[in-house]
Structure 1
Amino acid sequence: MTKSEITKELELKPELVHGALRTLEEKLMVHRYNRNRNPWTTHNRYRLLTEYESPEEPEKKLVIDQLRAIGPLTFAELRRECGMPLNVTRSILNQLQEENIVSRIVVVGATRLFTYCLTEEVESIKKTEEKKVTRVISWRDPLLTHIRREMYAQYGEAWTHPIVSGGMVTGYMEAWAMSGLLDVREVVLNEELGIEKFLDALDEFATYQENFHSNIIRVKAFAGTRIEELDAAIIKKFESNGYQRIREWLVKGPVINLSYQKREIYGYLLWKQRIHPERRFRNATEAFREMGGIRSEYELSLRIQGRFFHPRDYGNEMEIVQGVMIPGYSTYCTVRDAIIYRDARNMVSEPEDRRLLALTIDSKGLPREELYRRSGMDPDSFKRSLTRLYQSLHLVRTTRGNYRTLPVNRIYEAGEARFRVVKRLILSFGIISAEDLGMLLKGEIPMAELRKILSKLEEEGILVKGFLKEESETLYWIISEDLERVKGHLFQGSFVLTQADRLSHYLSQDVKQKFGLGACNVIFSSTRTTGAFKMSKRGKDVTITEFRGGNQERHVIEAWCRQWRMNLEWELKSDEKVEI
């Protein structure tokens, strides 16, 4: 169960549940369970640790296992790794030495250290030849057990990745794995270590990131100096190793050196989203087919030429159903698209749900009240079962509001269905970051899988990537055929982008940063966002509760309300006065 599920079930405050889970983890009574997912990109699930028979003298086994894994160790290091009290650790070591299982040896370096190792390994330690191989290691590397104190003594807490030659510390790197790239924010090397050896070590370390479909290295500073102020001879060594200058960074990997202004990107987004006046759909059939579903009449009105209706009113032209599609919003779409979304979600129905599925097999469906009457279930069980089936897309609703099933046969396997859903979403926006993609999908598909899909689209030549947005450090992917089409989409006119629109979700962070509002309706003037507002709506009565903008934006809101035949009132929460 997740922490939120436990909190809901026990009806306790989240902080109490958090503390209890931490205590149970420390006592090894529960553990975090991840099933084929990256543990950094999914919700923690907790489950009981499997009961098992403990070995005889577990403390001895623990000490032996630690020495076999990362020995030789000093007494302090061994005690820290085993997590045992001082007197217990000393007693166990004395017993193991008496039994000739563990030996104490002297390691000579800058100082003499008494360390412990397994007796069977003493001869192999004596015969070991030191190899001066330069490596970048992570803070999880077992070698850090031996050099942690030295790292803190020399470099404080600025480091994240030690650099070692053989077993000796020769520098550090501060680097963070971002979406699609390794962000190197500082590199400090000792005088005896050459830049070429470090770059080779960094390349080797970066191969680990490739397992997560991250093949870009970005260096922002070297030896405490920003790249734009770095000596030309040092930059030349980086460039000879495959790096290129992009803005104030040194970047290695398959990226394009292009960037666009925010206004140009907004114009391109409007063009790809079919909101641009010159690229709207000719009819609703095209809109349903290309967009994979329509969420509201407001969303449809911005994207279609001429007359339009509510999405449910197209049920006579196409077989339209309503359900919680991907992303998880109520959406009207064709039956074929609904099946693909169901295949992508890939949720198995419970045995107790089969009764409802059998009753709704007719394509005309049943009203909720009739379905409840025929099911013979109690109200709570019926509600749980109906919600479960609706969320998993085993049940959808017709344009008349009745519940019905979808055809049983799959169109695609789950992996292929998710790939196609994500691909269509990417192509509908044209330019996107991994973070934007995860946010648009509401975390329904793990970030590791999204990066894999982005990588596959790169390999197919559909996408290319780069730092495409001026004044942004984020890595973006863009359709390769559209590199010359990003600019030149200015037009005359203003419109309101409602908060439920998919483009509004895409721009939510920019809107929040610019206007200081969360979920809100955005006012566009050509390709610029010039205002935003929040409103409450009851029937045809609209009340504006928060507003950012000037007189021009007020006129746009008034015109929008007239278009939809809504009555407008202003009741701002702030002290701002609005002249009507």
Structure 2
Amino acid sequence: MHQNSRHENETLALDKMDELRDDFALRGRCEMFRVNLKAMAAAHQLAQGTNLRGHLVWGRKSHFEKLLTIRNLQSNDEDEDILQFFREHHDPVIFMERHAMKRAEFRKLISPLVRSGHLIQDYRGGFKTISPNSDSDLWDVKSEYIRGLVSEYPVISLKQVERLAGSAFSAEEISDVMHAFEEDGTLIKGFLVDDLQDICWGRQDILEGLKGIRKTRDLVVPPSDPLIHYFGSLLRERFGFGSAYMVFHKEEPIAAFKANTKDGVIEVTDFVGDSELEKEALRVMKEFAWEHDMPLTGKLYEQLRSR
């Protein structure tokens, strides 16, 4: 999955992705990484808003309009003045001056609207009001969104879809959509994974062609990569983390670690892994750090190196 979703460069990767959280997520999707996400946001006029999993992500305005449509949330009457202002203007300084408001007060005022998806912040720091697609059928929009999610995975369980989709979808809605995909031939259903007792859905065209799939390189999947939600149960059960960097060697998860990434370094703060494959895990982590030009640091990392 990861290998087939990588593109030649960051421009092609951005064209294929609706949302990105950070440079780690962008770098993982391109073979050649020349320009960081901040520069790409300016070049492609991206904005930052809240996705359906509650994370701040970069994306196009049309994507956030779709997300607000899926949320199906009406704004509060007391927020209408703010939303109306940012329909006509984008500069927050004008709003603060008009209301004799400090930046901290302004942030407190707009944060709920950013979280609910009614406001986004553009690459220049301005804000824009988002409106839902009123001419679209809600069920059709939700179904197509789920279809886009599941189409990227050869096999997926109901729990995995729930994690990927976010809280805007109920379990019943997701189940109904998945059953509809069965009926129209998009997916097949069954016990599709040998060591998994859960019923899964899979794309028959991908499953039939599994023998021709090339092997995935050793890699680290960061917490900001959407793939991490696909491996959420495995991350918790095997490594005890809710969110972490997952290390893969020979297509198997062998370790997970937590890290701080401020000041241009990756400071390892926690590590859980197979003791017999610790050297391999460190090698993959070093390659990951080298790709991002961010050296590994920290007392724990030095302890791991010296073992």
Q: TM-score range by the shorter chain?
A: 0.7 to 0.9
Q: Look up the equivalent residue of 2:17 and give its one-letter code.
A: M
CA–CA separation in structure 2 for the residues paired with 1:296 and 1:322: 11
Residue 30 of structure 2: which of 299, 304, 312 is its match? 304
Q: Look up the equivalent residue of 1:414 and give its one-letter code.
A: L
CA–CA separation in structure 2 for the residues paired with 1:411 and 1:296: 32
Q: In the alignment, does 2:281 pair up with 1:556?
A: no
Query: Taking structure 1 as reference, are residues 510 and 563 closer, same or farther at Cα in structure 2, changes over 3 Å only?
Result: same
The aligned counterpart of 1:322 is 48
The aligned counterpart of 1:119 is none
Give the CA deviation at 1:475: 0.7
Give the CA deviation at 1:356: 1.3
C-alpha contact 1:341 1:417 (8 A) present in aligned 2: no
Question: Which ranges of structure 1 fall in alignment gaps of 5 or more residues?
Answer: 1-269
- Helix, strand or coil at the partner of 1:462: coil
CA–CA separation in structure 2 for the residues paired with 1:291 and 1:429: 15
CA–CA separation in structure 1 for the residues paired with 2:236 and 2:131: 42
C-alpha contact 1:340 1:412 (8 A) present in aligned 2: no
Query: Taking structure 1 as reference, are residues 409 and 555 closer, same or farther at Cα in structure 2, changes over 3 Å only?
Result: closer
Query: Taking structure 1 as reference, are residues 381 and 478 closer, same or farther at Cα in structure 2, changes over 3 Å only?
Result: same
Give the TM-score normalised by structure 1.
Answer: 0.48
- Helix, strand or coil at the partner of 2:254: strand
The aligned counterpart of 1:72 is none
The aligned counterpart of 1:497 is 221
Counterparts in 2 of 1:34-113, with a 5 A limit? none
Q: In the alignment, does 2:238 pair up with 1:514?
A: yes
- Helix, strand or coil at the partner of 1:531: strand
Query: Taking structure 1 as reference, are residues 308 and 432 closer, same or farther at Cα in structure 2, changes over 3 Å only?
Result: farther
CA–CA separation in structure 2 for the residues paired with 1:483 and 1:432: 12
Q: In the alignment, does 2:94 pair up with 1:366?
A: no
CA–CA separation in structure 2 for the residues paired with 1:378 and 1:515: 44
Give the CA deviation at 1:299: 1.2
Deviations 1:460-508, CA, capped at 9 Å, x for gaps: 2111111011122101011232221234434363222112211112112
Q: Look up the equivalent residue of 2:56 and give its one-letter code.
A: S
Q: Look up the equivalent residue of 2:220 and give its one-letter code.
A: V
Give the CA deviation at 1:333: 1.3
Q: In the alignment, does 2:299 pair up with 1:571?
A: yes
The aligned counterpart of 1:528 is 252
Deviations 1:258-285, CA, capped at 9 Å, x for gaps: xxxxxxxxxxxx2xxxx21x65224545
Further displaced range: 430-439 or 279-288: 279-288
Query: Taking structure 1 as reference, are residues 517 and 382 closer, same or farther at Cα in structure 2, changes over 3 Å only?
Result: closer
Q: Look up the equivalent residue of 2:91 and give its one-letter code.
A: L
Counterparts in 2 of 1:152-301, with a 5 A limit? 270=1, 275-276=2-3, 280-284=6-10, 286-301=12-27
Give the TM-score normalised by structure 2.
Answer: 0.86
Residue 157 of structure 2: which of 428, 433, 436 is its match? 433
Q: Look up the equivalent residue of 2:63 and give its one-letter code.
A: D
Residue 200 of structure 2: which of 471, 476, 486 is its match? 476
Q: In the alignment, does 2:57 pair up with 1:331?
A: yes
Q: Look up the equivalent residue of 1:323 and give its one-letter code.
A: G
Query: Taking structure 1 as reference, are residues 531 and 399 closer, same or farther at Cα in structure 2, changes over 3 Å only?
Result: same
CA–CA separation in structure 2 for the residues paired with 1:398 and 1:463: 38
What RMSD over aligned residues (CA atoms) do the two structures have, in Å?
Answer: 2.9
CA–CA separation in structure 2 for the residues paired with 1:314 and 1:579: 39
- Higher helix fraction: Structure 1 or Structure 2? 2
State the percentage of identical aligned residues. 21
Give the CA deviation at 1:329: 1.6
CA–CA separation in structure 2 for the residues paired with 1:537 and 1:559: 16
Deviations 1:124-156, CA, capped at 9 Å, x for gaps: xxxxxxxxxxxxxxxxxxxxxxxxxxxxxxxxx
Counterparts in 2 of 1:385-464, with a 5 A limit? 385-406=109-130, 410=134, 412-464=136-188
C-alpha contact 2:10 2:33 (8 A) present in aligned 1: no
CA–CA separation in structure 1 for the residues paired with 2:106 and 2:216: 53
CA–CA separation in structure 2 for the residues paired with 1:476 and 1:465: 6
Q: In the alignment, does 2:194 pair up with 1:467?
A: no
- Helix, strand or coil at the partner of 2:300: coil
CA–CA separation in structure 1 for the residues paired with 2:154 and 2:34: 25
Query: Taking structure 1 as reference, are residues 429 and 296 closer, same or farther at Cα in structure 2, changes over 3 Å only?
Result: farther
- Give the structure with higher Rg (CA): 1
CA–CA separation in structure 2 for the residues paired with 1:442 and 1:422: 11
Give the CA deviation at 1:379: 8.2
CA–CA separation in structure 2 for the residues paired with 1:411 and 1:306: 40
Give the CA deviation at 1:300: 1.5
CA–CA separation in structure 2 for the residues paired with 1:421 and 1:503: 16
The aligned counterpart of 2:80 is 354
